[in-house]
Chain A
Amino acid sequence: MTAAEEDRQVEPVAGPASRQPVLSVRDLRTRFRTPDGAVHAVNGIGFDLHEGELLGVVGESGSGKSVTMLSLLKLLPMPPAEIVSGQALLDGEDLLALDPARLRHVRGAKVGFIFQDPMASLNPVLSVGYQLTEPLRTHLGLSRRAARRRAAALLEGVGIPAADSRLGDFPHQFSGGMRQRVMIAMALACDPKVLIADEPTTALDATIQAQILDLLQRLRRERGMAIVWITHDLGVVAGLADRVMVMYGGQAVERADVRSLYARPQHPYTRSLLRALPKIEGGSRGERLASIPGQPPTLVRAPDACPFAPRCAHAFARCHAENPALAAVTESHEVACWYDAEAGVPRAA
């Protein structure tokens, strides 16, 4: 690890000071070994997640959002994926150091996952009831009958009418929105402390999207779990998140309280994302963040310079030579940038 990389390990800004984070991730690095060379997908990501908090993770396609979260539970295909370094403390246990058997007790029990495409994410040949009872029987040791009752209650809880009679149905017999509700019920089956939602509404149309957002908000209030919400959509994040992490090229470029982020965006990348957001309410919300000129980084090398520099309007010599670490701007706002966008001058070294 170079000195510059070590510099990046700044402690995240604490949330409300007294609380211990539920999940605390440090210096996560994941890469893929491909025939064309390594892909450095995640380069030193760290974040804290507190009880009941919703952390929004935004960034354009390929910025490493999914790989970061999948790395935590080793849900990536290994090989080619390889977790090079990092720590992910949940209840004082480092998830990345757990043996496979212990890790299984975390997956689905303490950490729930919701994925983007609810059709592909459910097994097409097993009934919804069976798939729902699996985590209940595995982690809670419920009997078949008790698990079924619980599964019906879970489906009821995510707003599926006549839940009892639908346990025997197969995923294809549900609509897209209903399938995502089933996924949510499955992820919440064992009352996890942390829910990771990887673009849970991207595959759904706008009205359904709103319903799913409402549902998750309600469940979050009821259960007080912490949520990591991955999305392309800064509009969704604004209405939902407590804190936001902006990712670019496999690293966090800005991390802030949601109000602070929208009021005083620091990083040129965040600023262009916000500018690209449709101004008029009711405009196409789910629009991809594609309107920034230039190409996303290739990730073939571990970054030794700011990954955004080639596309940055403010980049100067230092940006091409050194990778900036996250540094606090205010108590609840950090940015990794050599340029002070508010003042319009390079930051003091």
Chain B
Amino acid sequence: MTHYIVRRLLFAVPTLIAISFILFALLDLAPNDPTGQLPLTIPAEAREQIRESLGLGQPFHIRYARWMEQFFVNEPLNLIEQAFGIEIGDSESRLRVRSWATRSPVVDLIIERLPQTLWVVGLSYLIGILIAVPIGIVSAYRQYSWFDQLGTFVSMIGFSVPTFFTGLLAIIVFSVALQWLPSIYDTTHRVTDLASFWLQIKQMAMPVMVLALFNAAQISRFMRAAVLDNLTQDYVRTARAKGLRERVVLFIHVLRNSLIPVVTLIALGIPTVFGGAIITEKIFRVNGIGELLITAIQGADIPLVQTLSFLFAVLIVLFNLIADVLYGVLDPRIRYG
């Protein structure tokens, strides 16, 4: 197993380097001008100077190499220094990947935005799973019952109606009409006591539930299919023929098998949690990663887009590996040589 993981990690290195190159090249080809957003009164020479200062005068391969150095060496060193409060070498002169728009280091921006995204999107993913798994099991076990029909109907709505619609609908109902929940997520809000904690829950409720509905819709269908698939297997008949209780048949024999593909699916979906939910974050003004990314794209903030996309690629590769390993852990038939 360790062997397998190490080998997969080694294979991931060239993959990720290739991805970083493609990302860099694509974004370089895209029409971009870091001075494009500046007032028109700024003369052309000044603009040129700004471009020079950003290192844009250099040829492509130099710029790529510099980005590699900044991203793979300087930023990790910086993170280590911050984490342990130590100083490695000359940290002052070390160049960091900086946003064109704000001039602040990209990594700092991401770290600043990550908690909001993890809370809102991560919690919605978790709640989605917790809702979806039992619903999927019951729907399959009582296939075509009213519960199953209702579940099918709600999940169909869940993943065919886009979140910008359910989000706005929720705002109209709960914020505008009923005035129960705030429509804007206040990132500066700090939880200090019970009252502020309650407010935090209220402001998270809508974005979390809108996203949870969407996640639950997908996962519950998948869970249902997996359980249905297993319920008709011969080993279920054997379990019943042994005189086991239905509860045991379902929760030990069937569930143990059905969870294998579902756990894999859930693991594969985790990178999207870090990626944030652009639309939901926009609607509820949660300034998380999704918000950061879309602002960066709109402002042609290439270093920020580049870094976010690449981190996303790293997570996808990583969670693919985790999903594969989990599969092997859960299914004894899989052996990694």
Listed in ascending order, the chain A residues whose CB lies under 8 Å from chain B are 70, 73, 75, 77, 100, 104-109, 112-113, 115, 117, 120-127, 134-135, 138-139, 170, 172, 183, 186-187
B residues 242-277 touching A (CB-CB < 8 Å): 242-246, 248, 252-253, 256-257, 260
B190: Cβ under 8 A from any A Cβ:
no
Listed in ascending order, the chain B residues whose CB lies under 8 Å from chain A are 232-235, 237-246, 248, 252-253, 256-257, 260, 330-333
A73 touches B235 (CB 8 A): no
A75 touches B241 (CB 8 A): yes
CB distance from B39 to the nearest CB of A (A): 65
A125 touches B238 (CB 8 A): no
In the bound complex, residues from chain A placing their C-beta under 8 Å from that of B238 are 113, 115, 121-123, 183, 186
In this complex, what residue of B is CB-closest to A130? B252
In the bound complex, residues from chain B placing their C-beta under 8 Å from that of A135 are 242-244
In the bound complex, residues from chain A placing their C-beta under 8 Å from that of B239 are 123, 134
Write 9 A-B pairs (CB below 8 A) sorted by A numbering. Answer: A104-B243, A104-B245, A109-B243, A124-B331, A134-B248, A135-B243, A170-B333, A172-B333, A187-B241
Pick from B243, B248, B253 the residue with the most CB of A within 10 Å. Answer: B243
Q: How far is the CA of A279 from the CA of B25 in the complex (A)?
A: 77
B243 touches A126 (CB 8 A): no
Q: Known: A115-B234, A117-B234, A120-B233. Is A125-B240 also a contact (CB below 8 A)?
A: no
In the bound complex, residues from chain A placing their C-beta under 8 Å from that of B260 are 125
Q: How far is the CA of A106 from the CA of B244 in the complex (A)?
A: 11
In the bound complex, residues from chain A placing their C-beta under 8 Å from that of B234 are 115, 117, 120-121
Q: How far is the CA of A70 from the CA of B240 in the complex (A)?
A: 11
Question: How many residue pairs, one in A and one in B, have C-beta atoms under 8 Å apart?
Answer: 80
Q: How far is the CA of A107 from the CA of B245 in the complex (A)?
A: 11
Q: How far is the CA of A135 from the CA of B243 in the complex (A)?
A: 7
Q: How far is the CA of A109 from the CA of B242 in the complex (A)?
A: 7
B333 touches A138 (CB 8 A): no
Q: How far is the CA of A207 from the CA of B171 in the complex (A)?
A: 72
Q: Give which listed residue, A106, A117, A170, A187, contacts B332 with CB less than 8 A.
A: A170
In this complex, what residue of A is CB-closest to B256? A125
A107 touches B237 (CB 8 A): no
Q: Give which listed residue, B232, B245, B246, B257, contacts A125 with CB less than 8 A.
A: B257
Q: Known: A117-B234, A124-B235, A172-B333. Is A108-B257 also a contact (CB below 8 A)?
A: no
Q: Can you name 8 extra interface pairs (CB under 8 A) apart from A124-B235, A134-B239?
A: A77-B232, A100-B246, A115-B234, A121-B237, A121-B238, A123-B253, A135-B243, A172-B332
Q: Known: A115-B237, A170-B333. Is A123-B242 also a contact (CB below 8 A)?
A: no
In the bound complex, residues from chain A placing their C-beta under 8 Å from that of B252 are 126
A134 touches B235 (CB 8 A): no
CB distance from A53 to the nearest CB of B (A): 21
A138 touches B243 (CB 8 A): yes
Q: How far is the CA of A327 from the CA of B232 in the complex (A)?
A: 39
Q: How far is the CA of A319 from the CA of B259 in the complex (A)?
A: 55
In this complex, what residue of B is CB-closest to A122? B235
Q: How far is the CA of A73 from the CA of B234 in the complex (A)?
A: 15
In the bound complex, residues from chain B placing their C-beta under 8 Å from that of A70 are 237
In the bound complex, residues from chain A placing their C-beta under 8 Å from that of B237 are 70, 75, 115, 121
B333 touches A75 (CB 8 A): no
Q: How far is the CA of A186 from the CA of B244 in the complex (A)?
A: 13
In this complex, what residue of A is CB-closest to B331? A125
Q: Give which listed residue, B235, B245, B257, contacts A121 with CB less than 8 A.
A: B235
B333 touches A108 (CB 8 A): no
Q: How far is the CA of A13 from the CA of B246 in the complex (A)?
A: 38
Q: Known: A115-B234, A121-B238. Is A134-B244 also a contact (CB below 8 A)?
A: yes
